[in-house]
Every structure is written in C-alpha cells, then in structure tokens.
C-alpha cells in the first residue's frame, strides 16, 4: 500500500535510468528482481519474476516507459534478455529518442543498490509475500533517500514521512 502511494507521489522522469536484474532465493528457488533507478538513485520501479527472459524484461521496460515517459539514456548491463527486449520495444515505437548504454561500470550505482534487498534473502517464503515485502522496503528506502538528498536528514522519522505521504495531520 505504501509503495503504491509513494509511487504516485514520485512520478518524475529523469534524464538517465539505470536498470538491472538480480537474483534472490525464495523458498529454495531462484527468482529475478528487475529494478530501475534514476540518476539520483531513487527507485523508479521493481518487478519480481520467476524467469529471467526477454519477455519479462520487455514487460518491465514497457511498464516503465508508460509510467514515466522516455528518458534520454538507459544504462543496463550486457544481459542478452534486456538488450533484445530494448530492441523489440524500439521496433514497436517505444524509446525512440533514448540511447541504450551497456558499459560495464556505469551500472555500479544500481548494483550497490541491490544489497539491502539481497541481504534479507532468508526471510522470503513465497513469491506472493516477497513482492509486497520488497516493495515496502523500497518505499521506506525511497523516503530516506529523498530526505537525505534534500539535506533534511536531521530529525528524520519514518513515521512522520509516512504521515506526510498519507496526508495525515500531526
């Protein structure tokens, strides 16, 4: 719930996106978490899938462009599924003015951003419960990152930020 509200309030599209997928273990099986962040490190979207294929990457990239419009640059790793999904979307008229970069070290920001999600690997018991848990973590981390970026971390309180997000007066 917090993730949906947070996502609606943070609908800005930025110049550069970084997109990557990482693997997490859920009940002994590997699943793939697709994530996209902007140039400031704020999460644009996350999507948990059972497979790491072109179809999953295609759906995730399409969902992002519909929600945020086209960025100038999308930075990804050299995963064949993401590259082919990006080419397929270009054929269908999406990402026409977007440059796709696959340079190894440009994606370090998102690779470092995966750490908190992967650290909590042991707690995910099913795909159905892991997805909302990860989304909630991302929403809270997004509030923290935004506050830190604005330089107002002194007196930061998750409770206060959630009240502001929900529009609850003090």
Domain boundaries along the sequence of the chain = 10-125
- Range 114-139 average pLDDT: 70
Q: Which pTM was predicted?
A: 0.70
Q: Residue 164 and residue 170: Cα distance in Å, rounded?
A: 9
Q: Do the beta carbons of residue 39 and residue 24 sit within 8 Å? A: no
Which is nearest to 145 in space by CA: 109, 105, 106, 118?
109
Read off the pLDDT of residues 24-77 as tens digits, 9 standing for 90 and up: 888 888 888 898 888 877 788 888 899 889 999 999 999 999 888 889 999 888
Chain-wide mean pLDDT for the chain?
77
Q: Residue 37 and residue 161: Cα distance in Å, rounded?
A: 21
Instruction: Quickly name the fold that domain 10-125 has.
Output: Nucleotidyltransferase; domain 5 (3.30.420)
Kind of pairing between the strands at 99-101 and 73-75: parallel
pLDDT of 116: 66
Q: Residue 71 and residue 89: Cα distance in Å, rounded?
A: 14
């Amino acid at each position: 719930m917090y993730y949906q509200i947070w996502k609606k309030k943070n609908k800005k599209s930025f110049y550069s996106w970084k997109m990557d997928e990482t693997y997490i273990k859920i009940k002994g099986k590997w699943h793939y978490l697709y994530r996209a962040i902007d140039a400031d490190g704020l999460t644009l979207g996350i999507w948990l899938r059972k497979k790491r294929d072109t179809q999953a990457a295609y759906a995730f990239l399409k969902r992002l462009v519909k929600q945020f419009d086209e960025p100038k640059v999308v930075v990804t790793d050299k995963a064949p599924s993401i590259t082919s999904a990006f080419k397929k979307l270009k054929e269908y008229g999406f990402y026409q003015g977007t440059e796709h970069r696959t340079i190894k070290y440009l994606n370090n920001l998102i690779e470092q951003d995966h750490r908190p999600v992967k650290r909590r690997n042991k707690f995910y018991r099913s795909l159905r419960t892991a997805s909302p848990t990860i989304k909630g973590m991302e929403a809270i981390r997004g509030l923290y990152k935004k506050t830190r970026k604005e330089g107002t971390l002194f007196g930061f309180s998750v409770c206060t930020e959630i009240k502001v997000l929900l529009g609850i007066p003090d």
